[in-house]
């Protein structure tokens, strides 16, 4: 199914196929224009970055033709924000030559991706944001903004981007206008996500493929032939992703433009079929990881869809051809991308080619007919035709809002802004003479001629036979007139031999004819026509990703040309007629494709299997045909041995080659079948397992529900039992009441009143009683609730009370100890008093001491003990206040201000004793206070309980008082 690269340039996806087109010239500079306004009459719109921040939304953009506006608003002063009007978007096919007065600009779309997990963790902020759906604005410098055809925020879906940025290009490509959609951006900005996507969110490429097939379905008047190719540019080397042997391909250039030599093309019949080639190609694509992206694309990839179409039958107006390039570029890498070795080398190649792309875009946007360095990179060489205005171009720039990538994003925006200014002149390609179709026509004509040739052979043989018959008749007649019987016998033999030969020849010819018809039929299948049968959706076909390419052989891709069809239809071969008509009109292809959406578990889709089988059949037919031709040649070789020999040899080689191909294909089919069988059993087992597990889960879930139900029922049952019990009690009560009432009734009222009214009254009473009972019950319940609340409270209080008691008993013990100490101190006090008195007496008895006054002052019996102690206290107080006034001196002061040492030993002693008295007095005061507090605590606990927040608080308060007391005691001690 692969279209051979050896077919030459006509099969190249990058080959400009319209030599007559004014845009196919290799000198491209003439086919684009600068969109920068040269005069005020220019229709181009420019946004000048008004600097009023968020106010400048798309809806408020003013149109101006002022050149001065163009230079304003750039980041860092100078980056332009000019853009042509978004309503110049390419969404309508353009007739032969696009707008005479001016071309389209490249459509530029910006797509933000959300902050990645990594960026969040790094604390990145939003540096760029989408301001409306046309502007990108800088968060830190709102005056810096860029305007584009469309800006998609972080949460836009790929299909929305597709509808705006790719849909119109694909639609135009189906009508004969070349198209290129490419994603550009720094590494990890979301290019591959946008172009390829994944199962949950298909990218632009799968969506485009789906769209192409649905357009075919919606175009009943035309028939299509689709081929795909897929290449990568890795380290400036072009590799064929559909053919691993196609490495280091070369870009060639001729008068019609650039093309890649030796590229492999595959005919595709369904979306799944096309996606399977992409998946196969992706297997060979170079991917590596860097610090930004685990699966970073290390190469630029170009997926090309070649579309040929023509109108049916009488409507036939030639074939139009277009090609659609869907490009996923590798991401530019900055110094922040940590790479080493191979990755660094890859990165430098990537950057170099992107730089060249930037330069080319820059030059094209300048609009001057200067040298454009397309040749500086393979990428720009391949894109030359697209960029120089041969078709629609849609650029999708993917960016990250992260502040850490602010500068890189800014560069992308500048690039996009420049690209926006390139003007293109897209035109529809139309081929009245299409090489592909011509070769196709030749192939089918050969088939038909072969059939006709066979037919003439039959005629020849028939002629021979009739000649022989005639001869035989003559001989018979001659016999009658006396001819040699031997001669008659020879003739008869000849005739019989001729008849046998003719018979076998006829049979062979029939076989060959059947083979040819089958070939025609198969070729016809390659044509895609609109059908009401459904083309498999992408949900089915996404399963194809990962399945290998089906066809390795090269059968020379052919399309059934309408002329040939007509020729065939008008010929005598009714079988061919009917089969072709059936196959084309009944839409066998699409139904085949629809079947093809189903995957065989062995890896090949049914579609692909079908194709393989078809191919084998075709080869078998061809072998049969070649064999019969060879036989004929062998027979003829009697007349012309020389020329026949070479032909026979060639045919033998062909037959051998075809047999080899057939064996290879059969092997592939058998292997695929085996794989499918083994995979089927594995898949069956997996399926059964999955089913069982699902069932298990379901059962578990059901069990849980039933258990929960049971619990609820049990609770309900218990409630009902309780209610029942209550009711029974109530019934008993009522019965008792009734019995009492009956008694009453029987004893008194019945006779007295004997009326029904009395019974009613009683009943009412009973009812009232019942209501009261109910009320009482409710009250009872309430009381019970309150009671339980109180119990809880009580419990708490009792806990706290016991705690308080413990504290109080501890305090009592402490108090007791303190009291003991006080007693001890009192005794000591008395002792000291005695000693003091003795000392005083001793002092007084000393002659010339002049101490009579002091002696008088403390003389026992004159003032009594308490009076003396009081005096002593007063003295100590006075001395204390004096001591406070002293700073450094360690010499004690007397109450009179004189130095104690001056007063001699007696003065010192007195001072010491006075201090001790004072200390004791303070201690006593504290103990007294502590005692009072403890008593208060014990006695007034309930009262304080009310005053304070809680008993614990109160006790803590008392304890802190005690603490203060003991602290003051300690201080006194010190
Ligand atoms: N719009 C988006 N929404 C959600 N996730 C996205 C979006 N764009 C990109 N991502 C995620 O960001 C990561 C990097 O994206 P992707 O691989 O497409 O970047 P890239 O530009 O192709 O990088 P490289 O140039 O290195 O190949 C992926 O995990 C992808 O799923």
**Does residue 114 have its Cβ closer than 6 Å to ligand 1?**
yes
Protein residue with its CA nearest to atom 23 in ligand 1: 188
pLDDT at 205: 95
**Residue given tokens 């403390």 in the structure block:** 858
Sign of the Cα pseudo-torsion (429, 430, 431, 436, in order): positive
Q: How far is the CA of 115 from the centre of ligand 1 (A)?
A: 11
Backbone φ/ψ region at 8: left (φ over 0), alpha (ψ -120 to 50), beta: left
- Residue 98 among known ligand-binding residues: no
Ligand 1 atom closest to 287 (CA): 27
Give DSSP secondary structure letters for 203-258. -HHHHHHHHHHHHHHT-TTEEEEEEEEEEEEETTEEEETT-TT--SB-EEEETTEE
Ligand 1 atom closest to 298 (CA): 27
**Does residue 185 have its Cβ closer than 6 Å to ligand 1?**
yes
pLDDT at 800: 78
Distances 82 to 46, 401, 478 between C-alpha atoms, Å: 4, 21, 105
**Does residue 293 have its Cβ closer than 6 Å to ligand 1?**
yes
- Give the span between the Cα atoms of 637 and 630, in whole angstroms: 10
- Residue 185 among known ligand-binding residues: yes
Instruction: Please give the CATH topology (third level) of the domain spanning 2-49+62-424.
Output: Kinesin (3.40.850)
**Does residue 189 have its Cβ closer than 6 Å to ligand 1?**
yes
- Give the span between the Cα atoms of 331 and 186, in whole angstroms: 4
- The answer to whether the CB of 323 falls within 8 A of the CB of 307 is yes
**Does residue 203 have its Cβ closer than 6 Å to ligand 1?**
no
**Does residue 297 have its Cβ closer than 6 Å to ligand 1?**
yes
Segment-wise mean pLDDT, segments of 10 residues, the chain, 974 residues: 36 31 30 31 28 29 28 28 32 33 73 90 90 92 91 94 95 90 90 90 94 91 87 91 90 80 87 87 74 72 90 75 90 63 75 86 74 89 79 91 90 88 69 49 58 58 72 65 65 73 74 68 66 40 36 34 36 34 33 36 58 73 74 69 76 86 84 68 65 70 69 76 81 83 68 68 84 85 84 82 77 79 85 87 65 41 41 47 42 41 52 62 62 56 45 59 61 50
- Residue 529 among known ligand-binding residues: no
pLDDT at 937: 55
> Which runs of consecutive H residues, i.e. helices, occur in 571-605?
574-585, 588-596
- Tokens standing for 695? 């069932």
Q: How far is the CA of 197 from the centre of ligand 1 (A)?
A: 9
- Tokens standing for 335? 């110094």
Q: How far is the CA of 112 from the centre of ligand 1 (A)?
A: 10
- Residue 570 among known ligand-binding residues: no
Show me where the domains of the chain are located.
2-49+62-424, 436-684, 800-973
Q: How far is the CA of 201 from the centre of ligand 1 (A)?
A: 12
- Residue 189 among known ligand-binding residues: yes
Protein residue with its CA nearest to atom 13 in ligand 1: 188
- Give the span between the Cα atoms of 199 and 539, in whole angstroms: 8
**Does residue 405 have its Cβ closer than 6 Å to ligand 1?**
no
Q: Is 330 in a helix, a strand, or coil? A: coil
**Does residue 296 have its Cβ closer than 6 Å to ligand 1?**
yes
Angle, nearest 10°, between helix axes 641-744 and 606-636?
A: 160
Protein residue with its CA nearest to atom 2 in ligand 1: 113
Instruction: Identify which of 618, 593, 587, 616 has the alpha carbon closest to the alpha carbon of residue 605.
Output: 593
ipTM of the complex: 0.98
- Residue 186 among known ligand-binding residues: yes
**Residue given tokens 């204390």 in the structure block:** 880
Residue 179's DSSP bridge partners are 324, 392
Q: Is 35 in a helix, a strand, or coil? A: coil
Protein residue with its CA nearest to atom 1 in ligand 1: 113
- Give the span between the Cα atoms of 666 and 654, in whole angstroms: 18
pTM of the predicted model as reported, rounded to 2 decimal places: 0.47
pLDDT at 70: 27
Backbone φ/ψ region at 571: left (φ over 0), alpha (ψ -120 to 50), beta: beta
**Does residue 330 have its Cβ closer than 6 Å to ligand 1?**
yes
For 345, other C-beta atoms within 10 Å of its C-beta total 13
pLDDT at 942: 47
Burial label, 478 (beta-carbon count in 10 A; 0-12, 13-18, 19+): middle
Protein residue with its CA nearest to atom 9 in ligand 1: 190
Q: Is 125 in a helix, a strand, or coil? A: coil
- Give the span between the Cα atoms of 826 and 832, in whole angstroms: 10
**Does residue 192 have its Cβ closer than 6 Å to ligand 1?**
yes
- The answer to whether the CB of 297 falls within 8 A of the CB of 287 is yes
- Give the span between the Cα atoms of 105 and 394, in whole angstroms: 9
| Residue 316 per-residue DSSP state | -
Q: Pick from 109, 111, 113 the residue to mutate for probing ligand 1's pocket: most ligand atoms within 8 Å of its CB.
A: 113
- Give the span between the Cα atoms of 199 and 222, in whole angstroms: 32
**Does residue 113 have its Cβ closer than 6 Å to ligand 1?**
yes
- Give the span between the Cα atoms of 203 and 191, in whole angstroms: 10
Q: Pick from 118, 190, 332 the residue to mutate for probing ligand 1's pocket: most ligand atoms within 8 Å of its CB.
A: 190
Which residues, 6 or more positions from 517, have their beta carbon under 8 angstroms from its beta carbon? Answer: 451, 573, 575, 576, 579
- Residue 192 among known ligand-binding residues: yes
Q: How far is the CA of 189 from the centre of ligand 1 (A)?
A: 5
């Amino acid at each position: 199914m692969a279209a051979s690269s050896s077919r030459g340039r006509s099969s190249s996806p990058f080959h400009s196929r319209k030599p007559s087109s004014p845009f196919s010239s290799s000198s491209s500079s003439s086919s684009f224009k600068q969109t920068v306004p040269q005069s005020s009459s220019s229709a181009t719109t420019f946004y000048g970055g008004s600097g009023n921040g968020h106010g400048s939304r798309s809806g408020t953009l003013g149109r101006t033709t002022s050149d001065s506006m163009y230079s304003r608003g750039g980041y860092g002063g100078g980056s332009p924000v000019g853009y042509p009007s978004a309503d110049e978007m390419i969404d309508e096919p353009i007739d032969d030559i696009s707008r005479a007065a001016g071309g389209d600009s490249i459509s530029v779309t910006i797509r933000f991706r959300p902050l990645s997990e990594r960026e969040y963790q790094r604390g990145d902020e939003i540096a760029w944001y989408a301001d409306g759906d046309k502007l990108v604005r800088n968060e830190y410098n709102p005056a810096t903004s860029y305007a584009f055809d469309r800006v998609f925020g972080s949460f836009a879906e790929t299909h929305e981007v597709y509808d705006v940025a790719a849909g119109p290009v694909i639609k135009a490509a189906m009508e004969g206008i070349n198209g290129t959609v490419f994603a550009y951006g720094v590494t990890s900005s979301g290019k591959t996500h946008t172009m390829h996507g994944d199962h949950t969110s298909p990218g632009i490429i799968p969506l485009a493929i789906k769209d192409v097939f649905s357009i075919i379905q919606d175009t009943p008047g035309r028939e299509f032939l689709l081929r795909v190719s897929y290449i990568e540019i890795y380290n400036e080397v072009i590799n064929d992703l559909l053919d691993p042997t196609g490495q280091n391909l070369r870009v060639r250039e001729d008068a019609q433009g650039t093309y890649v030599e030796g590229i492999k093309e595959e005919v595709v019949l369904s979306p799944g079929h096309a996606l399977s080639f992409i998946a196969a190609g992706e297997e060979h694509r170079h991917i590596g990881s860097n610090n930004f992206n685990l699966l970073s694309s290390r190469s630029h990839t170009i997926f090309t869809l070649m579309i040929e179409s023509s109108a049916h039958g009488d409507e036939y107006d030639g074939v139009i051809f277009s090609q659609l390039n869907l490009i996923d570029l590798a991401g530019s890498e900055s110094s922040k991308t940590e790479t080493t070795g191979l990755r660094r080398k890859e990165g430098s190649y990537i950057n170099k080619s992107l730089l060249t792309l930037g330069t080319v875009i820059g030059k094209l946007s300048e609009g001057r007919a200067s040298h454009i360095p397309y040749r500086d990179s393979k990428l720009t060489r391949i894109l030359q035709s697209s960029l120089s205005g041969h078709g629609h171009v849609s650029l999708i720039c993917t960016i990250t809002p992260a502040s850490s990538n602010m500068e890189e994003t800014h560069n992308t925006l500048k690039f996009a802004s420049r690209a926006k200014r390139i003007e293109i002149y897209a035109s529809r390609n139309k081929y009245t003479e299409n090489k592909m179709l011509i070769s196709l026509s030749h192939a089918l004509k050969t088939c038909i001629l072969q059939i006709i040739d066979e037919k003439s052979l039959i005629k020849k043989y028939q002629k021979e036979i009739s000649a022989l018959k005639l001869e035989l008749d003559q001989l018979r007649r001659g016999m009658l007139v006396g001819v040699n019987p031997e001669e008659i016998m020879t003739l008869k033999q000849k005739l019989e031999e001729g008849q046998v030969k003719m018979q076998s020849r006829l049979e062979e010819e029939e076989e060959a004819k059947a083979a040819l018809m089958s070939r025609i039929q198969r070729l016809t299948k390659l044509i895609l026509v609109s059908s009401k049968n459904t083309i498999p959706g992408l949900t089915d076909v996404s399963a194809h990703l990962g399945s290998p390419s089906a066809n390795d052989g090269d059968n020379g891709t052919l399309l059934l040309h309408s002329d040939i069809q007509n020729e065939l239809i008008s010929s005598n071969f009714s079988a061919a007629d009917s089969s072709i008509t059936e196959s084309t009109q009944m839409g066998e292809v699409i139904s085949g494709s629809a079947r093809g959406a189903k995957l065989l578990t062995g890896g090949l889709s049914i579609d692909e299997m079908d194709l393989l089988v078809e191919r084998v059949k075709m080869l078998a037919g061809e072998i049969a045909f070649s064999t019969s031709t060879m036989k004929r040649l062998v027979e003829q070789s009697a007349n012309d041995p020389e020329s026949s020999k070479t032909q026979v040899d060639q045919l033998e080689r062909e037959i051998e080659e075809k047999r080899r191909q057939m064996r290879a294909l059969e092997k592939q089919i058998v292997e695929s079948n085996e794989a499918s069988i083994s995979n089927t059993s594995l898949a069956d087992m997996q399926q059964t397992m999955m089913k069982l597990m699902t069932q298990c889960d379901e059962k578990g879930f059901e069990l849980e529900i039933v258990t929960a139900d049971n619990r609820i029922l049990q609770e309900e049952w218990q409630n009902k039992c309780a209610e029942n019990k209550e009711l029974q009690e109530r019934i008993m009560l009522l019965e008792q009441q009734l019995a009492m009432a009956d008694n009453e009734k029987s004893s008194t009222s019945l006779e007295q009143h004997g009326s029904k009214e009395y019974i009613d009254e009683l009943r009412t009473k009973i009812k009232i009683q019942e209501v009261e009972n109910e009320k009482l019950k409710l009250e009872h319940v309430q009381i019970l609730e309150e009671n339980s609340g109180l119990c809880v409270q009580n419990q708490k209080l009792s806990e706290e009370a016991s705690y308080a008691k413990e504290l109080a008993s501890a305090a009592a013990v402490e108090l007791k100890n303190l009291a003991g100490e006080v007693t001890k101190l009192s005794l000591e006090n008395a002792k000291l008093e005695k000693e003091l008195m003795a000392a005083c007496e001793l002092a007084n008895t000393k002659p010339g001491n002049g101490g009579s006054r002091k002696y008088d002052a403390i003389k026992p019996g004159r003032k009594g003990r308490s009076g003396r102690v009081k005096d002593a206290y007063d003295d100590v107080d006075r001395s204390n206040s004096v001591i406070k006034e002293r700073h450094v001196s360690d010499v004690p002061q007397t109450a009179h201000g004189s130095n104690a040492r001056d007063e001699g030993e007696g003065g010192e002693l007195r001072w010491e004793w006075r201090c001790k008295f004072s200390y004791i007095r303070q201690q006593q005061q504290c103990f007294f206070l502590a005692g009072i507090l403890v008593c208060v605590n014990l006695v007034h606990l309930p009262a304080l309980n009310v005053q304070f927040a809680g008993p614990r608080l109160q006790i803590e308060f008392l304890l802190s008082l005690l603490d203060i007391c003991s602290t003051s005691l300690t201080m006194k001690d010190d």
